[in-house]
Amino acid sequence: MTITITPADWLSFFTHFLALSLLSVGGAITTAPDMHRFLVDRQGWLTDPQFSASIAIAQAAPGPNVLFVALLGWNVGLNAGGLPTALLGMAVAMVAIMVPSTTLTYVTARWSHANRELRSVRAFKLGMTPIVIALLIATGWILATGSRYDAARDWRLWLVAIVSTLLVWRTRIHLLWLLGAGAVLGWMGWV
């Protein structure tokens, strides 16, 4: 895929992701639907397979999954030219998605830590606890059931997810073994 991106386009990419940064409650992945709408549907800067692959690679790779945004920018840049634009795309996307949320979190964290004995702060943290735990379990569920960007999933992938959950919850098996097993199962076409 080759596209042309003007400086004005880069700017709109940047500002769009700046806004998404502020909306990315629960993580950048929660804004992925909107990123898809912007990059794939509206601007046509990315293909669907490139989009899904970016998310999958970032998830499989070590490190925070937010790095899928770096890959989105990288792929957009590659589509627009070569290595230099790929690096630019990566920088634009990552800086935009990180700066607003990071600043906000830092400022809030300082205040919250300084005031941690306040009843309201303790009530917030304790009150959010069941929600937060449920959200984690729900995120795993959603990732297992698949997003609309992936091909249809079936019960075998489900089983892999459930078994992984049980093994990580109840045993001390190293996570890499489980990921390796998942990779092998997928490679062999069994899931």
Partner 1 sequence: MSSSPEAAATTSIEQRPQPHSLTDLFLSFTFLALQGFGGVLAVVQRELVEKKRWLTRDEFVEEWAVAQIMPGPNVVNLALMLGARYFGLRGAMAALAGMLTFPLLVVLCLALVYAQYADNLNVAGALRGMGAVAAGLITATGMKLLGAIRKNPLGVPLCIVFGVASFAGIALLRWPLAWVLLGLGGLSCVLTYRKMGRTGA
Q: Which residues contact 145 (CB under 8 A, 6 or more apart)?
A: 153, 158
What's the rounded Cα separation, in Å, for the pair 24 and 98?
10
Binding test (CB under 8 A) with partner 1, winner from 41, 64, 84, 115: 64
Q: Which is closer to partner 1, CB of 11 or CB of 131?
A: 131
Q: Are 72 and 54 in contact (CB under 8 A)?
A: yes
Q: Which is closer to partner 1, CB of 12 or CB of 59?
A: 59
The yes or no reply on residue 84 touching partner 1 (CB under 8 A) is no
Binding test (CB under 8 A) with partner 1, winner from 12, 81, 149, 178: 178
What's the rounded Cα separation, in Å, for the pair 187 and 191?
8
92 token code pair: 């634009």
Binding test (CB under 8 A) with partner 1, winner from 9, 81, 112, 149: 112
The yes or no reply on residue 120 touching partner 1 (CB under 8 A) is yes
The yes or no reply on residue 59 touching partner 1 (CB under 8 A) is yes
What's the rounded Cα separation, in Å, for the pair 49 and 176?
26
The yes or no reply on residue 42 touching partner 1 (CB under 8 A) is no
What's the rounded Cα separation, in Å, for the pair 9 and 162?
43
| Backbone dihedral region for residue 170 (phi beyond 0: left; psi -120 to 50: alpha; all else: beta) | alpha
The yes or no reply on residue 113 touching partner 1 (CB under 8 A) is yes
Binding test (CB under 8 A) with partner 1, winner from 26, 37, 42, 44: 26
Q: Which is closer to partner 1, CB of 11 or CB of 162?
A: 162
The yes or no reply on residue 181 touching partner 1 (CB under 8 A) is yes
